[in-house]
Amino acid sequence: MTKSFLADTFPTTSPLVFANESQGTTPTRESIKVVIYGSKTGVNNTIFTLYKLGFAQVNEWSPLLPSPNPGEVMSILTRHIMTT
């Protein structure tokens, strides 16, 4: 059940890995942010679960930050993907 969000059902509009082909375009990098909101325990447990699933290393997430919602914290993961 916890792996259901990892399903490969989303179409990719641009390749994440580029072949070494000369097409006259230079790929650029785009920052993608993943944010987890919740209690300290909930956010930490989710980060550890995502680590166990191979999604991201624990140290790639930001330290727990105050959330705009009272009683909640958040942590941010930034990834860089190639775009055309």
Task: Identify the CA nearest to 62 among candidates 75, 43, 79.
Answer: 75
pTM (2 d.p.)? 0.65
Per-residue model confidence (pLDDT) at position 24: 56
Count of alpha carbons within 13 Å of 26, Cβ hemisphere only?
Answer: 1
pLDDT tens track for 34-43: 999 999 999 9
Q: Kindly report the number of other CB atoms within 10 A of residue 61's CB atom.
A: 22
